[in-house]
A and B are shown apart, each in its own frame.
Chain A
Amino acid sequence: MNETTEAGWEVVIGLEIHAQLATRSKIFSGSATAYGAAPNSQANLVDLGYPGVLPVLNREAVRMAVKFGLATGSTVAERSVFARKNYFYPDLPKGYQISQYERPIVEDGSLEIMLDDGTKKTIGITRAHLEEDAGKSLHEGLKNASGIDLNRAGTPLLEIVSEPDLRSAKEAIAYLKKVHTLVRYLEICDGNMQEGSFRCDANVSVRRFGAAKFGTRCEIKNVNSFRFVEKAINYEVARQIDVLEGGGTIRQETRLYDSAKDETRSMRSKEEANDYRYFPDPDLLPVVLEPAFIETVRATLPELPDEKAARFIRDYALSAYDAAVLTSSRELASFYESVVAAAGGAASAKLAANWVMGDFSGALNRDGLEIAGARVTAEGLAGLMARIQDNTISGKIAKDVFELMWADRATADAVIEANGLRQITDTSAIEAAIDAVLAANPGQLAEYRSGKDRLFGFFVGQSMKATQGKANPAQLNELLKKKLDNP
C-alpha cells in the first residue's frame, strides 16, 4: 500500500520511543537491572514503593541522556525537573511514575533519515526525558488473577518523542532504525526489542491533503519489532481512512497492536480519560548540569553513524547505500574497517564491502550470531580477499572457500590447500579441457558455428565443470572464444 497517496489522505505519525538505559543499577535505587532474573528478586524497597523510602538519582542515567541530547543536536537543559505522573496500576508500585514533564533534560533536536529515493529528510525530536519503567503483569498460570513482577520497575528509560514529521510507515521505520542505531552507537541502550529494552508507541492520524489541522490521533502501544511497527501503522492508517470515508469520526484513544491478528484494538484499561495530576516530585531536587559536565560528556561521544557513513563514502569511495548498511552498527563498521586495514587499505574497500555485506553478514544471520561470535575474523576475510586479488582462486570458488573457513574456523590458504582449490591458470591445461568439451558436444558445436551465439554460455559452463570450477574465468573465456570462432 502506498500510504501517503491513498485516496488523497495524508498520514501523520509521531513516535514515542522508550529506550531502556544500559545502566547497571536502577534510576533511583541500587537494584540490579539485569534481564530475566527470578520474579521480584531485583526489586528493593525503593522499587517496591515501600513507605518511607526515597529516590536518589543515578548519575549514569543522566550522563546517558546527555549523550543522546548531544548526539541529536538537542538542547541539554542546564536545569531539569522530575515530576510525578499519578495513576493507579498494579505494575506501578507508588501509584505514580517519576518522569519529567515541564522541564525535560533534552529538548529540540533532530535526526536525518534517508528515504527510498535517496533523498534526506530531517525529523524533529521534540524532547527526550528520563523516567522510570514500570513492572510487569503476568497472566499465565493464575485463575482470574494476575501476578506482578516488579524487577523492571525503576529501570531507567529515556523517552524520545518525535515531532509529527513522519508521513508514512516507511518513514517511521527509517526513523526508528536511525534512533535504534544511534542509541547502540552511544552505548546507552542495548536495543533489544525482544526483551523490551527498545519499545515504541506510535501516534497515528490521517488528514486530507492540504488540510491545515491534524486529524484526531490514536496511540498504538505494545509494538515490539520493526516489522510490527510498520504493520501496525499500516493497519491503523487503513482503519482510520475506512472510518472517515464511511462518514465516521476517529476517537482519540490508546490502541493495542495484536501481532497474531495483525490488527489494532482499543485498550479497555485506558478507556477512561486520564488525569495524571503531574506535579514536581518533592523528593527530588532540580537536576542542575554544569556546562563543564556537559562538555566532559561531549568528549566521550563516539563518531556518530552519519559522520562515519560520510567518511566511508569519502575515504572508501562507497555508495551511500553501502555506507549506510556498513555503519548500521558500530560493531559492523568496526569489523569492516578492520578488514579494509588488513587487506591493505582503501584499494580493497569495495571488495571488502561486498564481502562484509554479502557472505559474511549472510552467515551471521543464518547462524544467528553477533559479530563478536563470527567464525571468520577480519584478518581471515582479508586473507581470502588477497587470494582473489592475486588470482589464486576465482570469486566463485571464493564463496566455497568462505563457507569452509566459516565451518572450520580456518584460514583461506589452509582451505585452498586442503581442498586443491587453487585456480588453474596454465593455458595448456585449460585448452585441454576445452578441447575435450568441444569433442564431446559436436551437435552444439555445429549449432554454435551456424550462428547460435547464446550457446557460448553452455560451453563456458561445461569447460568450467571440466576443471572443477578452478579455471581462471577470464582465461577460460578468452581461450574458448578463440577455439570456437577459429576452427
Chain B
Amino acid sequence: MSAEPILELRNVHSGYGTIKALKGVSLKVYPGEVVAIIGANGAGKSTTLMTICGIIAAEKGEVLYDGKKINKVSPEKLPIKGLCQVPEGRRIFPRLSVEENLILGAFHRKDQEGINKDIEYMYSLFPILGERCKQHGGTLSGGEQQMLAIARALMTQPKVLLLDEPSLGLAPIIIQQIFDIIKDINEKNGTTILLVEQNANLALQAATRGYVLETGEITLEDKADALLHNPEIRKAYLGE
C-alpha cells in the first residue's frame, strides 16, 4: 500500500444549519483500496460523502484529495480531478434516455471517441443498460437505475469513486450483482472506492478496510476482516 492517501479527511465538522451531523471525522483512503464506512441511520454517512464533494460545506477541518485541500473547490470541478460520487437514492436523470445519462457523466470530457468507447464499455459491463439504452432513465427498475448511476459515474473516469448506499431498496440477488461489479471495477480498473453502507456485512466483505461512524464521529477503524469478526460490530450492526 502506498504511503500517501489519495483522499483524506482531517477533523471535519459539517452539518445542516444548527444541526451538526459530523463532529470531527478523520479518515484516510489509500489508492487502490475499497474502504467502507458503516453506521446506522443518521450517523452522518451520507453527510460525509456530500461534504467531500462540497455539496455541503465543511465548517471546520480539511478535506484533502491527492494531497491538495479541496474544501473550497466547487462540486462541479471534482469530476475533472477524478473524484465522483454515486449519490444516495441513485438520482439518475429520469426523463433523459439511458444513453444521455451516460453522456452527461462524461460532461467534462471532450474526447468524443473516448466517450463512445466508454459507453460501449459500460454496455459490456452492464448488458441490461445496452438493451435499454433508448429508454428513459425513470422507466428502469431500481437495480437497473443503480447500475445506470454507477455507470454514469464511471463515465467521468474517476480515480476515486464514492458510493452512497448502493444496496438501498434492492433485492438481495441484485445487491450481490452490484457488489460483484464494484469489486470488479476496483480490481480491473484500479479505481479507489469509498463505500457507505448500512448493510455492514456486505460492505465489509467487499472492502479492504472499514470505518464505523456513530453520530458524527468515527468510533472504530480496522481491517475489514477484523471488523467483520469484531464481536461488538457483530452485535451492533450484524444483528447477532
A and B together in one complex: no
* Chain B contact residues, CB within 8 Å of chain A: none
